[in-house]
Amino acid sequence: MKRSIDLENAAILDVAQLMAATARTAPKTRGIDNIEVVAADDEATKKDLLRKMSEISAAEKRPSMERDALSCAASPVMVVIGVKSNPAGLNCGFCGYKTCAELKKTKGVCAYNSIDLGIAVGSAAALANMFHVDNRVMYSIGRAALELGIFGKDVKQALGIPLSVTGKNPFFDRK
């Protein structure tokens, strides 16, 4: 026999996997896939992310980072989606530079990479919502993941989505 908590935790892991698939298949500029997805579902990785969020909060006087860390503490899984910096080759100037070659020299991020990240994250969060799994998009988790080097050096932007199945969404009505 399985109890509610066991079923709920299994459901969260299933949803995290589906979120990864959704992020992978989300539309991307010119069909170029620069998306990376990780799921922090083990205690060690979750603790590292929460610790880093608290460290950033203290070092930069950003109380919202600490607030996010506290609200994520009980999350069984945090899905983190990142995007590699890889100019789209359109020379559109949308990033502020006239050409993609100029952008590459600065090691900046292509505006289309940011757009692709937003579409992937929005798709993943929407999927979690469809399964009634509480979630919230948080830059703080992504920032901590980048600083911890979870993705490697090519990923320059990331956003996190903590997941929860409880009677009240812990990611809203925060102090």
CATH number of domain containing 150: 3.40.109.10
pLDDT in tens, 136-153: 999 999 999 999 999 988
Beta bridge mates, 157 = 83
Q: Which two tokens stand for residue 38?
A: 């990780």
pLDDT in tens, 77-129: 999 999 999 998 999 999 999 999 999 999 899 999 999 999 999 999 999 99
Please check whether residue 60 lies inside any domain of the structure: yes
Q: Please, are residues 145 and 151 in contact by the beta-carbon 8 Å criterion?
A: yes
- Domain encompassing residue 95: 4-164
